[in-house]
Amino acid sequence: MVRKLEFSAGGFSSVEGDKLSSVLKLEYGIPNTGESNFRTRAGIFSGRFFASYRGPKSNNKENRIQSNGGIGIRYRSNSPFINTGDSKGDLFSASYDIQFIENFYTKKWHHEFLGIAQLSNFTLNPISRVTEFGTVTDVLRLNVSMRGKESYSYNNAFSGWRSTFRPNKKLNIFAEGSLIQALESENADVISAYLLGEVNNNMGSDDFGEISYQRGSGGHQRFARNYLFARESHLAIGGTLDLNDINIDFGVGSRRQFGLDRLYEWVNLDSAGYSLAHNPTRVTLTSEDTLFEFKEYLKLFQVTASEGELNNLKNYAFFRINGVDKIKNSSIYWDAGFRLLHDSRSNEIRISPRLSFKHWGSNGIVWDLKFGSYAQTASVRELRDWRNSNLITNSKMQHAWHSILGAEKKFLSRDRPFFWRAEIYYKFLDNAFPFEQDGMRVRYLGNGPGIARVFGLDNRVHSQWLPGTESWVSLSLFRSQEKFEDTWSRRGSDYRYAFSLRVEDALKGFTNDKVYLQVSITGGFPFGSPLSFSKPFKAPPYRRMDLGFQHIFNSKSSVSIEVFNLLEIRNTASYFWIMDISTAREYAVPNYLTSRLINFIYQYQF
């Protein structure tokens, strides 16, 4: 149902909104086939269904009404993944989403409605885990036995409408509104006992591969009852004015944010009956020679308990003017505008100017230069302070300055079309929130705002060797740093480099048999001990290769086989921290992503 997708890594115009770093623009629509359309796709892990219709046209030429609509349903289950990694257990995983779109057209009016609902549920009863990690000369093995249950639920809903009135060819006026709601719950109560030992790596030994020395043992318990409710309503009006060589966009709007957040989570570490951190019995002598005994007590290793409420009103206005000027044999496109933003939570008013230029030269290369100021109001999740167990309601909005220089060119090579795009960028965040990333979970640490900076180079070449296929190669080199104390340190998104390659083609002489190969390589993410600013360690790089085959029977049906992680590379998603009690040394045990997976897909259109 997505008709057009555009991603901007920065430097976007004042029309695009109040985002700090990047923006993803989606345009939903119905395929322009002139008739109803039905498509279905079924696989081992997922399935989807799509249906659309086009209503009949009215005979009244002045008030001709045309309508179309569509519905899409998707399903995905990750249950087969649980036994492809180190952990064993019973997993129920299901994710559903439904999307609905409806359009009504007249000569001067266009009405759109979009509705989206998503339900995701994950339930895990872990049983055991065996993980080997370390170096070639120092191999460690972690054996864990577990009892308990983890249950996660994420439910989201969106509804929106937009009406556009076109009184003449030069003026468009729109009014729009939307409502977003999210309800999340995280429940966990898992008790585990672990054994950490050194593995005998002497290939000539009879005990090769067995535990040669037991470094430590202990218990670990994680308990969580976390709930989040968020609702956001939005109303806006605006328009577009075409003055021949100049276009003007303008609008005003308001967003009401409401959220309730409750966090209660703790971790307990235990070894030989002593909980960490341990407070021993102490004896003190007072001035009256009286002895006092403080009985030892158990203290949890990590506790987060907070409740908070967000009630925020964000009012904004935007203005943009753009046009094209001819200079000799070239053209220059210019775009200037600003956004005015008021945030009631922080009581801030921000004026964000934005300016961009694009130059078409005679050599076919298009250059563009972008500058701008970008502010972003905080959500409930960003206001969570995991370190100090509270909800920060008085922090300032995050804000960044962007400067981007880009170049692009279209060309032919071996009778195949290619598109090349490169960007050099620098972003300075004068108000930034600290965070840490634990797999897919992002924890904000409070004590902000501080400052941060991101700079780098993006390079991408895209091609289409056959109709309906896509191939590309991209390389990004970048740094992401933050400063919340005295020195610059690595930000959670500082991967340093990212490379991706996709080649999609058909077998020679068999255009109905297609094959694709996709390779992804990303630098390791920085990490440190939980809930700390310092990230002195770096995870191994992420490496993955996927291979897929598709056979097209006819214009309506096809069958595909996909092999994910073809080389069975063990990629690290996050780390599980344990402690060797005898030396008080902490170990970061990697949590690996899934191994090789094979998926079978059948697709039919009618």
Report the C-alpha gap between 20 and 339 in whole angstroms.
13
Record the tokens describing residue 508, joined without a space. Answer: 């020679």
Q: Which pLDDT band, with edges at 50, 70 and 90, does 375 fall under?
A: very high
Q: Give the domain ranges of the chain.
A: 31-84
Percent of the chain surpassing pLDDT 90: 38
Is pLDDT at 32 greater than 70 in this prediction? Answer: no
What pLDDT score was predicted for residue 378? 84
Task: Read off the pLDDT of each residue in 464-482 and give the average, rounded to a whole number.
Answer: 89
Record the tokens describing residue 147, joined without a space. Answer: 């009892």
Nearest by Cα to 432 from 470, 387, 378:
378
Report the C-alpha gap between 512 and 379 in whole angstroms.
48
Q: Which amino acid is at 43?
A: G
What pLDDT score was predicted for residue 383? 81
Q: pTM for this structure?
A: 0.84
Report the C-alpha gap between 471 and 460 in whole angstroms.
11
Report the C-alpha gap between 452 and 482 in whole angstroms.
4
Q: Which amino acid is at 315?
A: N
Q: List phi, psi (to 5°) of 440.
A: -90, 0
Is pLDDT at 470 greater than 90 in this prediction? Answer: no
Lowest mean pLDDT of 90-94, 411-415, 498-502, name the range: 90-94
Cα 356 versus chain centre, distance: 27
Q: Do residues 87 and 150 touch, judged by C-beta distance below 8 A?
A: no
249-296 tens-digit pLDDT: 999 999 999 999 898 988 887 765 555 555 554 555 555 554 444 454
Task: Read off the pLDDT of each residue in 596-603 and give the average, rounded to a whole number.
Answer: 88
418-454 tens-digit pLDDT: 999 999 999 999 988 888 777 667 777 766 678 999 9
Q: Which residues pair with 89 in a beta bridge?
A: 126
Q: Do residues 75 and 47 touch, judged by C-beta distance below 8 A?
A: yes
C-alpha radius of gyration, the chain, whole number: 28
Record the tokens describing residue 352, joined without a space. Answer: 């964000």
185-215 tens-digit pLDDT: 999 999 988 888 888 887 777 778 788 877 7
Task: State the maximum Cα–Cα separation within the chain, in Å, rounded to a whole number.
Answer: 105
Mean per-residue pLDDT over the chain, rounded: 84
Report the C-alpha gap between 531 and 435 in whole angstroms.
9
What pLDDT score was predicted for residue 290? 46
